[in-house]
Structure 1
Amino acid sequence: MAYHYPPPGEWQTYQTLVAGFARVMYDEHTVTEYGRTGQRQHGVDVFARDHAGKNIGLQCKWTHESLGSGALASECEKAREFAPALDYFILWTTARRDVHLQDLAHGLDRSGEYPFAVGIRFWDDAIEQLNRMYTVASTYYTEWLDEHQVTADHDHRRKLRIAFDRPAFLDPIHLERDFGDLLQAVKDTLVFLKAGLLYDRYDRTLVAQALPFSLLSDAKYIEGLANVASMLTDLEALLQRGAAPFGAPVMTDANDVEQCDRLRRRIVTKVRSLSR
């Protein structure tokens, strides 16, 4: 279940919220809210670098209405002067998603007129990020979460279902063609349990963020997740053992394949019992 968060009541809070998204999405140590009211900011309210070292400039537009068609191009012009030179420029707005503005952003991006890629994000996109990022939501929407009885444990159960509702855990083992992918999925899921971050295996975008399970409050739930983590560690060791002679997990031993399948079924059964 996704929650429909309302926009912040003032532009300053919206800007710090976008900076909160950036700290999870990019290299958190590089995220800076740039300048202050009355200073020239060259179209950038929040600066960050992604994990590949690319420079990201974010402009925040708090509004009750849709943006004018010239707003994005105007901010892109200002961003030309930003130093260091940007690789990506993204305008975040509290306006609802608008296909005309999306088309305009795509056109500006494809035009080659600017030395950076151009994008636009709407409040609908912010809602998606808030549903992904519990620590950001709990920082800026504490009272709203309390009112709707959304706790860290409740949020974690929802993200747990997302983490295990994937082919790596659900597809029949005889259909598995690349045990290397399965190994990576197991590693990624362990990171989610221990650190609270789940990334897409291919483009490394954030899928879900929750508290590490050790920081939750339900002792029985924590104990169950520790058991899941232990089984995942056993599955990881089994897959890595298959990788040892060949350099990649190929699972040529039928007994290893059967053991791998049994472990997966046990893990999924345990997860389903915990996420009810």
Structure 2
Amino acid sequence: MGQLSQFFQPPLDWQQFEELTRGLVDQLYNTQSSMIGRSGQAQDGVDIYARTQAVGHLGVQCKRLSIRDDNNNLLANAVISPAMLKEEAEIALNFRPTLNTWVLATTAKRDARIQKSARNLTEAFEKRGVGVRVQAWFWDDYVSWLNLFPDLQRWYYDKVIHIRSSSEQDELILSLIATAFHRPAFSDPLYSENADDLLQAIKDTHMALRTGELVDRKSKHVIQKAIGGWRSLSNSAWKAELKGLESDLQTLKIKMMEAIKEKLIVQHSNYLEIRDPQLVEDLEYMRASCVRRLNIILLDGKLEEI
């Protein structure tokens, strides 16, 4: 029987991700790496540098992708793009000493497009006479390495993200659920919404609550995860309330789908028409009720309301 693998929550800020990556470089290559420049500000495309026997001069740039913009709204398409990879790899060619291997490390989910782009860039550099191998490390890789190296795993929990108790894990789960609800579908007037976007936002929020996975709508990548959703909470009272909230969201989703099918909700070029006044009241009440129910839990957990 194979060994069970544990999922690990990505670091909560840039510095934590850089610290983890530095620890990983040291573990993988049996070396002593160094940070370059200030945290979060790569110098010539490099945050972490190390001399290694296995891959020569190694430079790593850390990309912990934010899931919110400057206005605290959820970002669309918060993933690494081939263009971003190429741009950053070109910048890293200026680093001294000259690198043999350059890695873009990211909290994004593994992406075959980016892996292929890294291979293509390596080949293109070879044709230009530049001997730099380009790689991409994804959060899936970090999870595998954390499962492979127990010492690194303990260090990550104790020194980096400082999670030592079930209550701290509960806080991470509640924070993810709050993030999932923090979107226009639960705050803006119904008439200003797009019918398809509104329904999809409700579906995405329902899935985040149920599975603990927050998905980017455009790329369909998981951009934040909190091990199992509400079912993994240790607080039984919160678990019972969120079970009810999941049921409420399911009811809201079904009501929206039926109304669209019966053409009680019609999308116009710049506004949403809901042809049944009672349906407007019902949908507004259900949205507000979901938010109120979650806010009670967040307040009990001493977290910020949405």
Letter in 1 for 2:188: D
Task: Name the residue aligned to 1:270.
Answer: 293
Letter in 2 for 1:270: R
Letter in 2 for 1:11: V
Between 1 and 2, higher relative CO (CA 8 Å, sep ≥ 6) is seen in: 2
Cα drift, residue 235 of structure 1: 0.5
Letter in 2 for 1:266: S
Cα separation, partners in 2 of 1:119 and 1:222, compared to 1, 3 Å: same
Letter in 2 for 1:88: S
Cα separation, partners in 2 of 1:252 and 1:13, compared to 1, 3 Å: farther
Cα drift, residue 171 of structure 1: 0.8
| Cα distance in structure 2, aligned partners of 1:275 and 1:166 | 16
Write the deviation string for residues 161-184 of structure 1: whole angstroms up to 9, x where unpaired. 2111111111122322x1211110
Contact 2:245/2:290, CA 8 A, preserved across alignment: yes
Task: Name the residue aligned to 1:141.
Answer: 156
Task: Name the residue aligned to 1:79.
Answer: none
Alignment TM-score, normalising by the size of structure 2: 0.50
Q: Which runs of 4+ in 1 moved over 6 A?
A: 37-40, 70-73, 118-121, 137-140
Contact 1:239/1:249, CA 8 A, preserved across alignment: no
Cα separation, partners in 2 of 1:149 and 1:234, compared to 1, 3 Å: closer
| Cα distance in structure 1, aligned partners of 2:158 and 2:101 | 34
Q: Which residue of 226, 240, 257 corresponds with 1:240?
A: 257
Q: Which residue of 168, 171, 178 corresponds with 1:161?
A: 178
Task: Name the residue aligned to 2:209.
Answer: 193
Cα separation, partners in 2 of 1:207 and 1:254, compared to 1, 3 Å: farther
Cα RMSD for the two superposed structures: 4.9
What fraction of aligned residue pairs are identical, expressed as a percent? 21
Larger mean CA deviation between 221-230 and 205-214 belongs to: 205-214
Superposed counterparts of 1:174-193, under 5 Å = 174-176=191-193, 178-193=194-209
| Cα distance in structure 2, aligned partners of 1:168 and 1:194 | 18
User: SS of the residue aligned with 1:202?
Assistant: coil
Q: Which residue of 49, 63, 69 corresponds with 2:95?
A: 69
Cα separation, partners in 2 of 1:10 and 1:215, compared to 1, 3 Å: closer
| Cα distance in structure 1, aligned partners of 2:212 and 2:98 | 34
Alignment TM-score, normalising by the size of structure 1: 0.54
Cα drift, residue 193 of structure 1: 1.2
| Cα distance in structure 1, aligned partners of 2:98 and 2:206 | 40
Superposed counterparts of 1:41-190, under 5 Å = 69=95, 74-75=100-101, 87-89=116-118, 141-144=156-159, 145-146=162-163, 151-176=168-193, 178-190=194-206
Q: Is 1:259 aligned with 2:275?
A: no
Write the deviation string for residues 188-242 of structure 1: whole angstroms up to 9, x where unpaired. 1111111111112233343421122112211011111111111100100111101
User: SS of the residue aligned with 1:198?
Assistant: strand
Q: Which runs of 5+ in 1 are unaligned?
A: 16-36, 44-53, 59-65, 77-84, 91-104, 131-136
Cα separation, partners in 2 of 1:186 and 1:71, compared to 1, 3 Å: farther
Cα separation, partners in 2 of 1:67 and 1:9, compared to 1, 3 Å: farther
Cα drift, residue 254 of structure 1: 2.4
How many residues matched? 196
Superposed counterparts of 1:15-30, under 5 Å = none
Q: Which runs of 5+ in 2 are unaligned?
A: 1-10, 30-51, 59-80, 86-91, 103-113, 144-151, 268-273, 300-306
